[in-house]
Copies of this chain bind each other. A is one copy, B any other.
Amino acid sequence: MSPENRQTDPVSPPSGLTRRGFIGSAASLGAGVGLGYAGRSLLSGNESSDQEVRGTDRVEFYGRYQAGIATPAPEFLSFAAFDLATDSPDDLRDLLQEWTAIAVSLSQGRLYRPIPEGPDVVPSDPGEAVDIGPAALTMTFGFGPTLFEQAGSDRLGLRDRKPPRLADLPQFRGDSLQAARSGGDLCIQACSENPQVAFHAVHTLTRAAQGKATLRWSQDGFGRTSSTSRSQITPRNLMGFKDGTNNIRAEDTDQMDRFVWAGSEDGPVWMTSGSYLVARRIKILFDVWDAISLEGQERAVGRMKISGAPLGQEDENDALNLDAQKEGQPVIPRDAHVRLASPQNNQGVRILRRGYSYSEPAETGSGEIDAGLFFISFQRDPHRQFVPLQKRLADSDALSRHLLHTSSAVFACPGGVEPGGFIGEGLFT
């Protein structure tokens, strides 16, 4: 957890308290939403319950940065993109205030609001995460280019607030994007150690958006495909290789400042301490990949499959030696993924990867497994970091021949929120 998100705010329950322990609280939220309900069912139900309380890890929502970027990536993701269903900036502000209130509650392992008493009252919280605990839940919010300008229209009067760095991504070689599963005005990235907690967050936030924003596309993921903290081991992606060995780690604050966090000099002001999120749904073409020899796979990646060591080295964490030769040929092939993606070959540029594996029902009639990587990266400037890197990979990378990019989006994630504030409030000042 980054130190910034460890801070305490006046309404937080003590660390370790869960939905169960904190139930029935009538503390008011920072965003000003009162909790006036008595919480009858919830209170009585939980008092008589003998269930274990699980997932007591709690990640602070408030802080200089939004949680879910520098905080250690947990095992599960629910991601959702929304289209705004209103042209009223007041509606957008209301939505962001309500989303903030929900995020504060849920990140503490509480219901959005205690389930109310009375025959005709519809619960604010759908309830499927009751008893589970916060399970390290984070919710990270972002704004897409179309929020600021859509087909030339200044739909919300926010055009002059649009960050220049939030321009649409270009088409890359081989892209096979589904428009309906790309883009979006708003996004939510919910991460948790428990998939039901991540689902519940997106469910609750989607429900609260009714009439103001509509679910455009969504994507669940598991088994984070990068480490984002020194406390984490390198996971293995669905191609069977360790992934993210050379990722930025949150502990490298100089790297985070240089490559991830937008500074006050980067503009606009409301993006200070924010970051730009790029999402790409990348299908693995298993029919071909699975038929390649071990050496063929290792040459495409540039690392040993099991150990993760760079070709020609012994250990996963050994430095890449891009100059090493054997019998007149480079040990790490010219088109190997690690060579083309290395900072050495990209003017030192790095990004913070925070993606997940995905697996979906097989496409009808295809006979193929539909699984791969839901790539997420955070960077200070997508067009100087992600775009040149991805262009190089799309053009020349041996690994890319086994991958199909089917979804793409970019979002501006503003800086964090202090108690009393709400996500993106700088848009309205």
What is the interface of chain A, defined by CB distance below 8 A to chain B? 41-42, 44-46, 48-49, 51-52, 78, 80, 115-116, 118-123, 126-132, 178, 180-181, 195-196, 199, 202-203, 206-207, 214-220, 222-223, 233-234, 236-241, 286, 290-297, 304-309, 314-316, 357, 359-362, 364-365, 367-369, 371
Contact = CB atoms under 8 A, between A and B. Distances in A.
A426 to B, nearest CB: 29
Nearest to A78: B359
Contacts of A120: 293, 295
B46 A306 contact: yes
B203 A286 contact: yes
Given A236-B130, A236-B131, A294-B116, A306 B42 contact: yes
A286 B215 CA distance: 13
Contact of A360 (B131, B215, B238, B360): B360
A364 B199 CA distance: 18
Contacts of A367: 214-216
Contact of A122 (B222, B291, B306, B371): B291
Given A45-B304, A293-B121, A305-B127, A362 B215 contact: yes
A222 B222 CA distance: 11
Nearest to A407: B361
In the A-B complex, the 4 residue pairs with the closest CB atoms? A127-B240, A45-B306, A45-B307, A180-B364
A220 B44 contact: no
A115 B180 contact: no
Contacts of A44: 306-307
B115 A305 contact: yes
A220 B358 CA distance: 10
A270 B117 CA distance: 55
A221 to B, nearest CB: 10
Contacts of A315: 48
A293 B203 contact: no
A397 to B, nearest CB: 20
* Dominant secondary structure of chain A at its interface with chain B: loop
A41 B304 contact: yes
Contacts of A222: 195-196
A327 to B, nearest CB: 14
Contacts of A41: 294, 304-307
A219 B220 CA distance: 13
Contacts of A296: 119
A399 to B, nearest CB: 15
Nearest to A179: B364
A218 to B, nearest CB: 5
Nearest to A370: B218
Contact of A240 (B128, B181, B291, B368): B128
A129 B238 CA distance: 9
Nearest to A233: B51
5 contacts: A41-B305, A128-B238, A199-B238, A203-B286, A360-B361
Contacts of A306: 41-42, 44-46, 115, 127, 130
A299 B256 CA distance: 52
Nearest to A122: B293
Question: Which of A239, A309, A369: most chain B Cβ within 10 A?
Answer: A369
Contact of A362 (B131, B217, B295, B305): B217
Contacts of A202: 369
A127 to B, nearest CB: 3
A291 B309 CA distance: 54
Contact of A361 (B127, B181, B307): B181
